Each structure stands twice: as structure tokens, then as C-alpha cells.
Amino acid sequence: MNIPFIGEVPSDIVVAWIISILLGGFLFSWVTKAGKWQVIMKYAQTTHHRKIGVMYLLLAVVFFIRGGIDALFIRTQLAVPENDFWVFQSQKYNEVFTTHGTIMIFFVAMPLLIGLMNVALPLQIGANDLAFPYLNAVSFWLFAAGGVIFNMAFFFNAAPNAGWTMYTPLATDTFTTEPNNNYYILGVQVSGLGTIFTAINMIVTIIRLRAPGMKLSRMPLFSWSALITSVLILVAFPVLTIALLLLMFDRLYGTNFFMGEVGDPVYWQHLFWIFGHPEVYIIVLPAFGIFSDIISNFSTKRVYGYTSMVAALALIGLLGFMVWAHHMFTVGLGSMANTFFAITTMLIAVPTGIKVFNWLFTMRKGIVKIRTPMLFALGFIPTFVIGGVTGVMLAVAAADYQYHDSYFVVAHFHYTIIGGTILGSFAGIYYWFPKMTGKMLNEKLGKWHFWLFLIGFHLTFMPQHFAGLNGMPRRVYTYMWEDHIFLLNFVSTIGAFLMGASMLFFIWNIYYTCRFTGGAAADPWNGRTLEWTVGSPAPEHPFEPMPRIDSLDAYWYAKINKKQLPEAEDVRPSPIAVETFQPVLLAGVIGIMSIGFIYGWLWMQIVGAGASLAFFVIRSLTDERKRVYEREEEL
Amino acid sequence: MKKLLFLPVLLLLAGCNIRALHPASDTAATLTDLIYLSFGLMMLVFVVVMVLFIYYLRKFREKAYNVHHIPLDTRENKWFEITWTVLPIILLTILAVPTVQATYELTSSSAGNVDEAPQQAVEIQVTGKQFNWRFTYENGKQSMNELVLPVGQKASLRLQSEDVIHSFWVPRLAGKIDVFPGKVTRLSFVPNEKGTYQGKCAEFCGAEHTQMRFDTRVISEGEFQEWLKQE
């Protein structure tokens, strides 16, 4: 489409601009009319874990819609052979699947889980906030800045196009010269920094701020999974940081880490997957934690095999670092390497199997109450087991020469990521919604959401296994009649639209609930863990007085024995909340610096870097604890 | 459950000639056997889980009379836990043995020493380039996007890329092998059935990755020699 003063612009971008401007205008006038600016300003300054968690979730849902629309474009283009849907062929299609993958992993799966951790983790362990509230706000705003940078790319007709894996040398400036892939590097880098800070925050919170008496061995499984995930993040994300930095140097300053005489494109694959495979467990372990808590809660029974559940989490985390080269079986690393990584990969099935059987045995001899969160947990078990068994099939190194980079792999990882992370996040959102907003999501709409999503999901991804075996490679924008994969793809497309439709129920449910329903009780699910002892929504400083914990699910046992949780006296001081615009401004200037790097504008890099440094100085010179200590001394 | 019913239906829909499961070479046949073995073992696991899942769900679902009951906590049973730790290990061992065998057998022919020329094989240079394939035979004959092989004779490919990474894949003849710039990889197999087979680039390589396809024609020895001589 030819636009005056700008030139040739693909029509999808024009449409996106128009829709965004209309939507933005509508939102602006709505917020003004409803007098909500004050609320927005409050949230922009907050360091409170629940509010930050809610913002994470909101932004994740927004990005989920973006990534979901990408997915629908992909499925529409692939619905029939030799299709020419709108603009989505060649490079445009490559952009769509690149942004789909990147957004779903970094800007949907991660923030959904981190958001839920923010909301529920402090409440589960009896902490009044995360250990470093200011840092938590910085984490969130860095994530938001990364998301904005990455999503901007599309609007400026420069969406990344080398796949979410950014394989070199395709991703170097020799083969993709435009700024497109710089957007990927900087967007993911900035949000990755936020993730690392979150991990530190979670670890310290869990180590330092548990309620008196809550030993690690009495901690709910979601908190355990948050702890182990945070450790994985702390080890894996710096590898991504380094890999992106090297790629950035290759692209911007002409170094040759990943090509040429001394460099090697395979280095990138190693670095990327040393991060990338633990990342898979980073996004699935918290979901396991959510399911453990929910299945126990709605089976009215203590979780079966608590100790082995924790051990399995830790073992999966550890093994997760030893399997990265199973993404590289066809690289030709040699029989020894391929065998080693095949065996370690198969081994992961053992702790995962232990978890599945423990979940089943938690239900056994319990009373299984099927509410929406439990429904998602029940949908998860068969779905994830399918994803798990195809995972073992993929681990068979030689057979992987057939599966590799085909739709079989696409089906496999959607089964694990959607079956694990996304179903887990939905379950968590339905479960903890009262703690976030003080309201209960509608059960009937929740069931519609669940069934449509689950049926749509299996329709979409089950056929892709067979399309892959029939020779359909990943990342192709079309196929031919003689490939004999038309029906499989057509069914897949129908399924994708069902999933899309199910999301309308979800969004309507949230709107309807927030608009038309009244307050929820503190303990609407007859829960077992500490978050259900505090009000809905969770107040600031919820644990005053602080309870003393003497067993796993202490609240539950107190409840059925008709007792109160005893009060603790030796309480650690709570983290100190502040109200400040600094985190959002810091993320803003880092964003500006990133744009400078993306387009190679030196002045902008300097301005952004200088301003960021100024924030570091300011922060080094402030200590909000001081005034609290002074007040305490006066007393 | 719906998804269980689904599986066979889809299998029928997809037709009974899924390429990766209809090998036309020794290498591909090994892979097909492995795929079936792993699928069978894994279906066993899946069925066990599903049976327990459905049974427990029906049996322990909340009923009108027990809404307000509180079930007793069950203690962990050591033997159960040992069972579901040891049984998967046994299953995986059954799977691991042929995996290791096949991996050693096939990988040595794909990543082995380049100089060690195999006997009695048709040697072909494969060059991947955005977005086509070039095949060069020993006598200097070149063909674009069409690989011609004699039936029953070992084909030995040396692959290299001129730009980005590609991946060579003919599902009915062999698994994939990546094709790199500045490095040679190898792949060999013995086609044992005449016919024309689809080949594709399986590593995303840029704008027209989708179009980077080629045909593999397996013909008789005599026809092959004829073809080699043609200009």
C-alpha cells in the first residue's frame, strides 16, 4: 500500500496502525471519562507484589492476543495448499512465525508465570512482600520495556525474521541487513535483565522471608517450583545475555563470533540451547507447582509423595542443563555426543513420570471437586503426557533425524508448552483471581473457555504430528497438493480458530466478573495454604499478626481441627514499600538507549546510557530503610 | 475421551502412506523401525496413565453424599513409588539399546572422516545455496534440484553450503543432515526401491526457504549410467 510521505507499506501494518490508534483513542477517552488516571498513576508507582503481579498478567494477556493473532495468520495461510492469504508469504510469513514464537515464550509464558509467582508466592510462604520491592518494580518495567521494543518492530515494518531461535549465520548482518533482528536482540535482552532480577528477588524472598516455622520441607509445591525455577533462571539467562551480546557485536560492530574463519555458526546453537533448554523447564516447572497445589486442593487431600515431588522438581531442573544438544542432533556432532544427549533426555522422563503418578495418586481416595481450576489441571494430565511421550520419541537420536525441524516437533512442543505452561497459567489465574481482584471468575464461562480451548488445542496440534512425519518441514509458508497434507492442515486451522474463540470467553469472563460481581470470601476454594488466610484481594501487609507454621498445609489442619493458626512473635521485619516513578522512568531510558542501538544512532545511545547511569547513582544514594529505622529508634 | 478416538481417525485420514513410515532405503528403514518401537513403548505408558486417570476420576469424583466429607490422608506407599520409578527406567532401557546402536551406525556415516572414501559408492557433492540445491557427480555432471541415484547402490553424499545453514531431507530415503558453510557433512544410504521422492530443505534459511525443494529420482543402474553421460 502506498502512503503519502512514507512510501510503500504492507497493508497489514497500515491496518494495525489504524486499529491501534482507534483502540488507543477509545481507551484514553474511557480512562478519562471514568476518572481512572489516578489508578493508573498509582500502579505506575507501586512496588507492591500483588499489583505488580496483576500488571504482569495483564500485559501477558495483551501480548498473548498479539501472539495469538500471529498464530491465526499462520494457520489461515496454511489452511489450503498453495494459498495466498493477504500478505503472509515469504519474508512476511517469516516475520509472523518469528514474532509468534518470541512473543509466546518471552512475553507470554514468562510473564504469566512470573505474574502468578508475584501474586501468590509471598502469600503462600507468609511474606508481607517480596524481599526487594523496588527491584521488583524495576524487573516489571524492564520486562514491559522489552515487550514494547519488540512489538514496536512490527509497526515500523521491521519485525524480526530469522525465527525465534535466531540461528546464525542467517541472523548476522551478512544475510539479514535491515534493523529487524536488532529489535529481537534488544527487546529480549532488556526483558531478560528483568527476569534475572526477578529470580534473585524470588530466591531471597524464599530463603529469608518464610513465616516462622515454615521450614523448606513445609513449603507448598508452587513455592518450591518457584524456587527451583528461579535458580534455573539465574544460571540459564546469563547465557542468553552473553549470546545476545555476541550476536549484537557481530551485527553492529563487525565481529565474527558466529561466522567466518575463526567463528562458527554452531557456537550460536550451543549458547542458545544451553539457555534454551533450561528455559523450557523454567516455563513448565511453575506450572507443575500450580497443578500440584490445585490437584491437592480440589481432591481435598494432601499432595501424594511430597518429598518425591520436590526431588523430581530438582532433578528435572538439574537434568535440564544436560540435554541442550538434543536440539542439535542433525548438526553432526558425532555418535558419542548424540548418544549422550539422547540418554540424558530420556532420563528426564523418569522424574516427570513420578510427578504424573503422584498427581494421579493425589486424586485417589480423595473427593475430586471439579471446579474450573481443577478442570484445567485435569485437562493438563493427558495433554502433557502426550507431549511427554513424543518427547521420549524425539530423544531417540537416530529417529530424530526424521522428526527434527518438522511439524512433528512443532506438535510436540506445543503439547508441552500449551499443555503445561498455558493450561497451568489459566488454572492459576482462575484459582488466584480472588487474591488479585477480590472477585471470583464465572464458573460457567470458565467451563466454556476450558472445553473450547482444549478441543481446539487437540484439533490443532494432533494432526501436525502426522503432517511432520509426512515430510512437512517447520517454517514453510505453503505446501502443495501432492504433499498429501491438506486435510491435516485444514483440521489444524479449524482447531486454531476454536482456540481463538475460547479466548473470547476468557476475556468476556474477566470483563464480566470485574464489572458485575461482588466481593469474594477470603477462602473461596476451601484452600489449604496460607494465601487463603488473608483477605481477597490480598491487602498490603497481609500477615499481621504473623502465623506460626507447624506442618505442610498448616492452615487446612487448623481448619478441620477448628483451631486458629498460632501467632508468631519472632517476626522478621517486612520489606519496605515505596511509591516511586523511578523504575518506570529507568525502563524508559533503557528503552531509548535500545532504540539507539537498533538504528545505530549514537547520540541516542549516549543520552539513554547517561540517563540510565544517573538512575543508578540516584539509587545508590537512597536507602528507604533509613527513615523506617530512624522512626523505630525514636520509639 | 475424545482425543483417544481421534488418533485412529486421523491415521486413516492421513492415508496409510506417511512418508517417514514408508522407507525406500536401508537407512530410512532403520529409522522407521525405531519410530514404531518408540511409539509402541510410549503408547503403553500413555494407556496406563489414561486408564488410571479415567478410573480415578470416575471413582473419586465428588458425589452428592460426600460433598462435606473430608477424606483421610493416605500415606505414601514405598512400593508404588518404587514401581513407577523402576518401570519407566526399564522401558527406557529397552528403548535406549537400539537407539544407541542405530545412532552409532547412522551417525558415523553422516559425520565420519571425510577423507575415508567408501567403496563401491556413488559419490555426489551436494551444495546448498539460498534457495536451491546443486548436485555434482564424479564425472563433473551437475544437476539443479534433481538428485538421480541408481537403485541398490550406496549413495555417498558430501554436503556443504555456500551461504547459511540448510538441512538436507528426503523423508523416504534418510533422515536430515545439516549443511553448513565452510564445513563438510556426510550422508549415505542405499536406496532399494525405484521411484521419485520429495526432498526439502529442513532448516529455515531465509525468505524462500519454502521453495527450496528438490526431487530424488531412483532409477536402474543402466538408466543411471545413460543419464550420467547425457549433457
User: Distance between CA A291 and CA A297 in Å, rounded?
Assistant: 10
Which residues in chain A touch residue B21, judged by CB atoms under 8 angstroms apart?
Answer: 469
- CA diameter of chain A: 84
How far, in Å, are A474, A495, B206 from residue A169 at the CA level?
18, 35, 11
- Statement: B20-55+83-231 belongs to CATH 3.10.620.30: no
- A369: nearest CA partner in chain B: B62
Which residues in chain A touch residue B62, judged by CB atoms under 8 angstroms apart?
Answer: 367-370
The C-alpha torsion from A305 through A307 and A310 to A312, rounded to 10°, is -70
Hey, which bits of chain B come out as E strands? 121-129, 132-137, 142-144, 146-150, 154-161, 166-170, 174-179, 185-189, 195-201, 213-219
List, in sequence order, every residue forming a beta bridge with B157; answer none if it has no partner: B124, B187
Q: Do A357 and B80 touch (CB under 8 A)?
A: yes
Which residues in chain A touch residue B104, judged by CB atoms under 8 angstroms apart?
Answer: 335, 339
- Check whether residue A24 and residue A104 sit in a common domain: no
- Check whether residue A557 and residue A456 sit in a common domain: yes
Which residues in chain B touch residue A469, judged by CB atoms under 8 angstroms apart?
Answer: 18-21, 35, 171
Query: Is the predicted pLDDT of residue B109 greater than 70, yes or no?
Result: no
Q: Do B3 and A462 touch (CB under 8 A)?
A: yes
- B9: nearest CA partner in chain A: A463
List, in sequence order, every residue forming a beta bridge with B181; answer none if it has no partner: B161
User: Distance between CA B21 and CA B34 in Å, rounded?
Assistant: 10
- Note the pLDDT tens digit of each residue in A274-296: 999 999 999 999 999 999 999 99
- Across A31-70, b (16+ Cβ under 10 Å) vs e yields eeeeeeeeeeeeebbbbbbbbbbbbbbebbbebbebbbeb
- Check whether residue A395 and residue A282 sit in a common domain: yes
Q: Residue B119: its pLDDT value, please?
A: 61
Asked whether the bond before B131 is cis by omega within 30 degrees of 0, the reply is: yes
Cβ atoms of A126 and A189 within 8 Å: the answer is: no
Q: Residue A571: its pLDDT value, please?
A: 84
Q: In the 8-state DSSP scheme, what is residue B99? A: H
- What is the three-class DSSP state of A406? strand
- Check whether residue A211 and residue A133 sit in a common domain: yes
Query: Which range of residues forms the domain containing residue A19?
Result: 1-35
**H, E, C per residue of A573-631:** CCCCCCCCCHHHHHHHHHHHHHHHHHHCCHHHHHHHHHHHHHHHHHHHHCCHHHHHHHH
Cβ atoms of B184 and B161 within 8 Å: the answer is: no
Q: Is B173 on the interface with A (CB under 8 A)?
A: no
Query: Is the predicted pLDDT of residue B4 greater than 80, yes or no?
Result: no
Number of domains in chain A: 2
Cβ atoms of B18 and B76 within 8 Å: the answer is: no
List, in sequence order, every residue forming a beta bridge with B198; answer none if it has no partner: B215
- Check whether residue A22 and residue A152 sit in a common domain: no
- Check whether residue A26 and residue A41 sit in a common domain: no
Which residues in chain A touch residue B169, judged by CB atoms under 8 angstroms apart?
Answer: 471, 473
Q: Which residue from A185, A392, A488 is spatially nearest to B34, judged by alpha carbons?
A: A392
How far, in Å, are A251, A267, A555 from residue A171 at the CA level?
8, 13, 53
Q: Do B103 and A338 touch (CB under 8 A)?
A: yes
- Residue for cell digits 475430586? A368
- Note the pLDDT tens digit of each residue in A596-612: 999 999 999 999 999 99
- Selected residues 126-165 of chain B with any CB under 8 Å from a CB in chain A: 163-165
Query: Is the predicted pLDDT of residue B114 greater than 50, yes or no?
Result: no
User: Distance between CA A492 and CA A97 in Å, rounded?
Assistant: 16
Q: At what angle do helices A265-298 and A221-253 cross, to 10 degrees?
A: 160
Which among A331, A389, A397 has the least Cβ separation from residue B178? A331
Give the phi and the psi of residue B137 in degrees, each rounded to 5.
-95, 170
- Check whether residue A165 and residue A183 sit in a common domain: yes
Q: What is the mean pLDDT of residues A507-524?
A: 92
Cβ atoms of A391 and A416 within 8 Å: the answer is: yes
> pLDDT grade, residue B66 (50/70/90)?
confident
User: Distance between CA B193 and CA B216 in Å, rounded?
Assistant: 12
Is the reported ipTM for this assembly greater than 0.90?
yes
Q: Which residue from B96, B39, B18 is spatially nearest to A347, judged by alpha carbons?
A: B96
Q: Do B2 and A458 touch (CB under 8 A)?
A: yes
Q: What is the mean pLDDT of residues A73-96?
A: 94
Residues near B57 by beta carbon (within 8 Å), at least 6 away in sequence:
A363, A368, A378
Q: Residue A222: its pLDDT value, please?
A: 97
Q: Are strands B213-219 and B146-150 parallel, antiparallel or unpaired?
A: parallel
- Check whether residue A469 and residue A588 sit in a common domain: yes
A16: amino acid identity, one letter? A
- Note the pLDDT tens digit of each residue in A424-472: 999 999 999 999 999 999 999 999 999 999 999 999 999 999 999 999 9
Query: Is the predicted pLDDT of residue A629 greater than 70, yes or no?
Result: yes
Q: At what angle do helices A90-102 and A49-77 cross, to 10 degrees?
A: 150
User: Distance between CA A94 and CA A88 in Å, rounded?
Assistant: 8
Look at A270-274, A417-421, B96-100, B109-113 and tell me which has the smallest mean pLDDT: B109-113
- Check whether residue A1 and residue A147 sit in a common domain: no
Residues near A96 by beta carbon (within 8 Å), at least 6 away in sequence:
A70, A73, A74, A88, A159
Domain layout of chain B by residue ranges? 20-55+83-231
Q: Do B88 and A349 touch (CB under 8 A)?
A: yes
Cell numbers at A16, concatenated: 494495525
The C-alpha torsion from A98 through A102 and A105 to A106, rounded to 10°, is 180
Q: Residue B117: its pLDDT value, please?
A: 53
Q: Do B19 and A302 touch (CB under 8 A)?
A: no
Residues near A146 by beta carbon (within 8 Å), at least 6 away in sequence:
A106, A107, A186, A187, A188, A189, A190, A191, A192, A194
- Check whether residue A28 and residue A52 sit in a common domain: no
Find the CATH number of the domain harbouring A615.
1.20.210.10
Q: Do A301 and B73 touch (CB under 8 A)?
A: yes
pLDDT above 90: percentage of residues in chain A: 90
Q: Do B81 and A305 touch (CB under 8 A)?
A: yes
Q: What sign for the dihedral angle of Cα A245, A248, A252, A254?
A: positive
Q: Which residue from B105, B165, B13, B55 is spatially nearest to A272, judged by alpha carbons?
A: B165
- Check whether residue A13 and residue A95 sit in a common domain: no
- A488: nearest CA partner in chain B: B14
Q: Which residue from A628, A608, A607, A590 is spatially nearest to A139, judged by alpha carbons?
A: A590
User: Distance between CA A303 and CA A309 in Å, rounded?
Assistant: 9
- A351: nearest CA partner in chain B: B85
Q: What is the mean pLDDT of residues A229-238?
A: 97
User: Distance between CA A421 and CA B141 in Å, rounded?
Assistant: 53
Instruction: Please report the DSSP string for A432-470 in residue order.
Output: HHHHHHS----HHHHHHHHHHHHHHHHHHHHHHHHHHHT
- What is the three-class DSSP state of A79? coil
Is residue A531 within a helix (H) or strand (E), and if so which, with residue range? none
Q: Residue A5: its pLDDT value, please?
A: 79
- Check whether residue A375 and residue A242 sit in a common domain: yes
Distance between B154 CA and the closest CA of chain A, angstroms? 19
- Note the pLDDT tens digit of each residue in B186-221: 999 999 999 999 999 999 999 999 999 999 999 999
- Note the pLDDT tens digit of each residue in B136-145: 999 999 999 9
